[in-house]
Amino acid sequence: MSMTAIFSRERSRLFRDFRIGLRSQMALLGTCGILVTGAICLAALYYARVVENEWNDSNKFRFHVASLSQGFLESRQIAGDFLRRPGEMWIKRYADSYERQLTELSRVEEVVWALPDDDPLRQAISLRPVLDLYATRLHNVVTAQRNVGFNEDDGFQGKLRKAVHVVEQRLAELNQPQLTILLLMMRRHEKDFILRGEEKYGDQLADQEAEFETTLAQSNLPTEVKSQIIELIRAYKSSFVSFMVTKQTLDDQVDDLGQIYERVRPVLVKLMTAADVRSQASERRAEEIRRKLVWMIGLLTLLVGLLALWCGQRIAKTVASMTAAMRQLGEGRFDVVLPGVERKDELGEMAKAVEMFKQKASEKTQAELDAKLEQDCVAAERRRADLVRLASEFEAAVGKVADSVSSASSELEASARGLTLTAGNSRSKSPPRRRRRPPTFSASQRQRAKWRKRSPTSADKWNKPLIWHGKPFIGSNSAMIAWSVWQPQLSGLGA
């Protein structure tokens, strides 16, 4: 036989004889249950953590999109406040808001770049150029507003006001009401343009300025004064034209700023909606995963419990069978077959121990039975010997009594025979007597007499001859006396 075959046979025998003990089975079952449950719980917790992180990322992305949208809305509000009340604080506030918008946009773009092209959130990639364009337009608005002037004394607005005040003061000094009226008409067109921003008011102001120069030329003022007033009115007109052009530029920039806002706002709204949908989907997914994990852990726990119950039932069934067998052993039934003797675990060892106890108990019981049988045989031989001895003694005593009775009977018989002869002689010598009439009996007396003839008396029973070893005794009373003497002793031996 080759070494491979021998090794295979030994390995097969080893695997066949190898059995895990009950304690090891229970420990292995508990350990495996704990390990499997722990592994599944850890995997479930890890997966739940991943899903929760995705949900947190979705919420963070939604927060960044909402912050970006809020920042852009704040930029629009800052621009409006700046146009209503120009000031440096609005410029600084917008700069801070713009920096936050760029920061939030960078965080949004980190998430969006990993998404597929057909995802609605990919629209966030196009926001940076638009936000830069909006910032540029707002910067142009700030520059135009700075040229116009943040207040009445600043920029072209301040120059215009100074120029018109100089003209008004000079005309008031010259006392020229007609020229003053024409100047007021020019101021009216100026105010209309400031309020409405229409270019026609600039044209009307130019016409009024030409009429002012014509009226000034027809006046009787000195030439030097006329030249001075003309220079002042033309400076006012030039300031107004600069103000008007700058104001129109400002309005154009404001319009462009509004158009940019209207173009960006729908994109932000779509991003916000897509971020909400993504966050809600992640939340639903996380909730579904948590619910599935709870069911999975519950089913696994139930499975482990059922497996433990099954193993416990097997052990309890074996123990119950062994208990029933041991109860039968206690009742003396040594032919019972113990369950689990072939097992290789602790229950098998216990069954083998009980089997050894059964064998020892059976051997002890058999030994006790043999000893008792031997004692019974010895006692029976002893009683038999005693009976034989007593029977011999009784036979000797009865023989003696029988001999005495026989001799006494012979003597009585001889005496009776002599008495009979004497009576016969006496009857022959005496005279004959008269015969007596027989008595008369009633019917009841005759019936009682009949029954007496049918049933023997106790005396008759006692007077029956006694048979002893095939020989009749003579004189039954003497025999009965001897029997009454020896009967108790014989009864004690029989017992």
Q: Is the pLDDT of residue 473 over 50?
A: no
Q: Output the CA torsion 63→67→70→74 (10° steps).
A: 170
Mean pLDDT of 297-310: 83
Mean pLDDT of 404-414: 75
Tell me the percentage of the chain whose pLDDT exceeds 90.
Answer: 5
**CATH number 3.40.50.300 is the correct assignment for the domain at 21-154+252-301:** no
Q: pTM for the full model?
A: 0.54
Cβ of 148: how many Cβ atoms within 10 Å?
23
Q: Is the pLDDT of residue 124 over 60?
A: yes
Q: Which of 57-66, 179-188, 300-309, 333-342 has the lowest mean pLDDT?
A: 333-342
Radius of gyration of the chain (CA): 74
Tokens of 45: 């917790």
Q: Which of 112-121, 217-226, 395-404 has the lowest mean pLDDT?
A: 395-404
Question: Per residue in 420-443, pLDDT tens?
Answer: 777 767 766 655 555 555 555 566
The predicted pLDDT at position 109 comes to 87
Look up tokens 């000893």; give the residue: 371
Tokens of 258: 């509004």
Mean pLDDT of 360-384: 83
Question: Per residue in 266-290, pLDDT tens?
Answer: 888 888 888 888 888 888 888 888 8
Tokens of 22: 């009950």
The predicted pLDDT at position 458 comes to 45
- How is the chain split into domains, by residue range? 21-154+252-301
Q: Is the pLDDT of residue 96 over 90?
A: yes
Tell me the percentage of the chain whose pLDDT exceeds 70.
Answer: 78
**What span, in angstroms and rounded, lies between the C-alpha atoms of 485 and 226?**
197
Angle at 393 between CA 388 and CA 399, to 5 degrees: 125
The predicted pLDDT at position 20 comes to 62
Q: Which of 222-226, 317-321, 363-367, 489-493 has the lowest mean pLDDT?
A: 489-493
Mean pLDDT of 19-38: 71
Q: Are 178 and 215 in contact (CB under 8 A)?
A: yes
Banded pLDDT at 198 (limits 50, 70, 90):
confident
Question: What are the CA-CA distances from residue 473 to residues 131, 158, 326, 393, 483 (Å)?
Answer: 157, 184, 65, 18, 12
Question: Per residue in 142-172, pLDDT tens?
Answer: 998 888 888 888 888 888 888 888 888 888 8
The predicted pLDDT at position 400 comes to 78
**What span, in angstroms and rounded, lies between the C-alpha atoms of 70 and 246?**
31
The predicted pLDDT at position 443 comes to 62
The predicted pLDDT at position 9 comes to 65
The predicted pLDDT at position 93 comes to 92
Mean pLDDT across the chain, nearest whole number?
78
